Amino acid sequence: MENLIVIVHIVIAVGIIALVLIQQGKGAEAGASFGGGASQTVFGSAGSGNFLTRATSFFAIIFFATSFALAYFAKEKATGIVDQGLPSIEEVQMATPVESEVPVLEQVLPEASEAPLLD
């Protein structure tokens, strides 16, 4: 489920980027007097502003919804780690090795008299 939401989230993000890049800015009307006014007839006499603005709003709402869903999944994964908490002092003391379990250097290495001499 989480992977599906991530895929939808990425597709919606790319869609928002494309819609924002397609839209014309406020200063684009000045170019209509130089012959650019005919390009707005594709979306009707009102131009593309209304359709693209609504589509961008719709994509933004879905983007926020997927963001909240992903945040919820991330919280659920992190809750398991936080709820475990820190170990108690008794657990830490039980996990540390007792002194007799640690090998002492004299027990591991032979004495100097037993080592062969090199000539």
CA distances 1 to 4, 8, 65, 101, Å, are 5, 11, 14, 49
Domain ranges within the chain, ordered by starting residue: 2-25+39-95
CA dihedral 92, 94, 100, 104 (to 10 degrees): -30
48-70 pLDDT, tens digit each: 568 888 999 999 999 999 999 99
Structure confidence at residue 90 (pLDDT): 73
Here the tokens at position 116 are 């062969």
User: Residue range 81-101: average pLDDT?
Assistant: 64
- Type and span of the H or E element at 88: none
pLDDT beyond 80 at 110: no
Structure confidence at residue 15 (pLDDT): 96
Here the tokens at position 33 are 């007097």
Looking at residue 21, its amino acid is L
